[in-house]
Structure 1
Amino acid sequence: MFNGMDVEELNDDIDMFKQNPTKCQIAQKITAEWMGGYRSKVSAGNKELLIGGDENFSPMAATHASLLSCEITVIAMHATLRGIELERIYIESEGNFDISRLYTVDNEPNPGFQNFNYTVKIKAKNATPDQLTELVKLCETHSPVADTIESQVPINLKFEIE
């Protein structure tokens, strides 16, 4: 174990993906069910997450949190692969969005995030500033969540009346 990751398993996974690139293609199935008010229960396999309401992250906060969590994963994974011993990764972030359209106040602007501004703070025992800069730059090129947000993935909605 290094940085809380099983290095042997990580390297085995990378080798397997290189030998069989089709295994990199993942179909993720998630369900969501209204729990009353502004709350939803989101399920993926045997894992559940409550979103919305006063006690939980809002859907927008969950999106924002997913971005930051993915950035941390990218940095930690690549630090581990490079033998860089991390002491801390901390991200401060602000995302701006306008809820006018959600509440039918106005049709402009779009109701999603307009931008994210964040700062990554990283501390490692055995890395140069250049190595840490390189790790953080991977967030711009290797983060699946950041790529999803930036590329405006098509959403195909179907509905059924029960």
Structure 2
Amino acid sequence: MASTMSPAIPQVERNGLDVARMTATVAALKADPALAQFEFRARNRWVTGGENRSTIQDFRGAGAEDTSRTVAFEFTNGEPPVLLGRNEGANPVEFLLHALAGCVTTTTVLHATARGIELESIRTRLTGTIDLQGLLALADVPAGYEGIRIEMDVRAKNATEAELDELIGFAKAHSPVCNTVCRPVPVIVERMRL
């Protein structure tokens, strides 16, 4: 019995990403920009004091509801004792730093991969300053971060310092979380029954 086999397409990974899948995804989005529209969701419930829990599971993207997650991710938000909590978990402004670090790192890896840069390591340190007088309405100052500093140590096998600097600048401009934090984004908060 004769069988025909198609030649194997070598799977090329760079920085832990499948280059062929990445290329196919970009081509699909160029061919049908509607596939690029995503809706992410989170749900939250208050537990007690400063403790509350968020669950994240479902989202819509690539033209369909995603069903790949059978179990929700759960995150506990808490506060340190100095802010009336019991260290139940990181507080929301710390989670914002976590989200920012994760997104800038992932964006850096994605675009390094597209540029053929082979990364050795990325380490990031974030610091943000807040004046709690804004939260407590004690002074006319912003209630959120006054500034955030991201320090990145990016090392690669085949990139110059100038190429890495340009990559980091590009990642800052194209990271969805960084872009959201760096520009005014409308947020609607409304009371309703869930």
The two structures have a TM-score, normalised by structure 2, of: 0.77
Q: Which runs of 5+ in 1 are unaligned?
A: none
Q: Number of residue pairs matched? A: 161
Partners of 1:49 and 1:5 lie apart in 2 by: 26
Partners of 1:116 and 1:65 lie apart in 2 by: 12
Partner of 1:136: 168
Helix, strand or coil at the partner of 1:91? strand
Decide which structure has greater helix share. 1
Partner of 1:119: 151
Partner of 1:49: 75
Partners of 1:126 and 1:161 lie apart in 2 by: 55
Partner of 2:99: 66
Q: For the Cα contact (< 8 Å) 2:51–2:88, is it kept in 1?
A: no
Could you tell me which amino acid in structure 1 is paired with residue 20 of structure 2?
A: E
Change (3 A) 1:23 1:107: farther
- Root-mean-square deviation (CA, aligned residues, Å) is 1.7
Alignment of 1:4-153 (within 5 A): 4-45=16-57, 46-53=72-79, 54-104=87-137, 106-153=138-185
1:103 deviates by 2.8
Helix, strand or coil at the partner of 1:102? coil
Could you tell me which amino acid in structure 1 is paired with residue 74 of structure 2?
A: E
Higher relative contact order (CA 8 A, sep 6+): 1
The two structures have a TM-score, normalised by structure 1, of: 0.91
Percent sequence identity over matched residues? 28
- Report runs of 4+ in structure 1 exceeding 2 Å deviation: 101-104
1:97 deviates by 0.9
